[in-house]
Amino acid sequence: MKNKFFKKTINVKLNDILKVLNQKKQNKNFMVNDIKELELAKQNDISFLHSTKYLDYLKNSNVKLIITNQKLKNKIPKGIKIILVPNVLLSVATVTSLFYPNSIHDTFDSQVKPINPKKYLNLKIGNNILLGKNVKIGKNCSIGHNCIIEQNVSIGDNCTLGSNVILRNSIIGNNTNILDGAIIGKKGFGFFPGKKKNIRYPHIGSVIIGDNVEIGCNNTIDRGSLSNTVIGDGTFLDNQVHIAHNVKIGKNCIITGQVGFAGSSTIGNRVLIGGQAGISGHIKIGDNVQIGGGSGVIKNIPSNTKVMGYPATNIRDFLKKEKLNDKFK
């Protein structure tokens, strides 16, 4: 998928990448088109492999240039040029910053201007609404007081924004309601702890919200790092839900208050999650799963499963354990 919002500012060659990674230059110096995840990378792109979890993506990838470490070197098929590094993700952050130097910082949008409602069809607005560049608003929308729609936002038809909403780098479908205080599309909390300073991970993705979605009050939804953060059609989020970068939530899910999703977790369709549950990063939850309130999900959950507790287990096993504990109290 072509990046809609972040644009490359320089042409990058292989030796440019090797230089920022403190590696020796190569005689064959060729142009590298972009940096992408394995499932999206093409022949002229550079990608990376940092875990065996992603070997299936590698098998189906067209990539010919890859960043990896010594441990995973032998997993790379012949014909793919390898750049060996001690820390894959740190190197990916460095290379991404080379392609997209403006992706690290999220300073406020200094180019916003007061909205002109006459430019939009049947738009209802409150007071003190500011718009940045590259903003599109569909017909029959309503925007509450003190909203700031920063650069690179597309809002579909029949949408409602409550008061004090901030949007950036986001695509919002039709018939979607975003309640007061939601902040959507800011950079995620990706970083690498260092001895001298913490190093930020660039975020060049966006937030994509489907049709007929409801986003509760004070939700925070981070944009993706290399891919996008996605909320599927018909999904409802209660108040104070946090969704980290690259999270993919399916269709018609119901997620109640104060649930937190760590980065790159994938949620199926029609999933129900109780209040204050926590979802660890890089895990997959299948379709029709029900997760009890206060649960901690730290591993994959298959479809059509009910879980509860910490760590979250099959709800029948959880209840049996609780009954046994009651006997010995």
Cis peptide leading into residue 311 (ω within 30°): yes
Q: Is 245 a catalytic residue?
A: yes
With beta carbons less than 8 A apart as the criterion, state whether 134 and 116 touch: no
Beta-carbon contacts of residue 314 (< 8 Å; ≥ 6 apart): 305, 306, 307
CA gap 282, 304 in Å, rounded: 20
The two structure tokens encoding residue 171: 């695509």
With beta carbons less than 8 A apart as the criterion, state whether 278 and 257 touch: no
Question: What order of strands is seen across the sheet that includes strand 81-84?
Answer: 47-48, 65-68, 81-84
With beta carbons less than 8 A apart as the criterion, state whether 232 and 215 touch: no
The two structure tokens encoding residue 189: 């909390």
Residue that the structure tokens 């460095």 belong to: 94
* H or E element in which residue 88 lies: helix 88-99
CA gap 272, 253 in Å, rounded: 6
Question: What one-character DSSP code corresponds to residue 301?
Answer: B
Beta-carbon contacts of residue 308 (< 8 Å; ≥ 6 apart): 291, 292, 295, 315, 318, 319
Work out whether strand 148-149 and strand 130-131 pair parallel, antiparallel, or are unpaired.
parallel
Catalytic residue among 50, 203, 242, 245: 245
**Side chain identity at 22, as an amino acid letter?**
N
Kindly report the length of the chain: 329
Residues known to be catalytic: 245
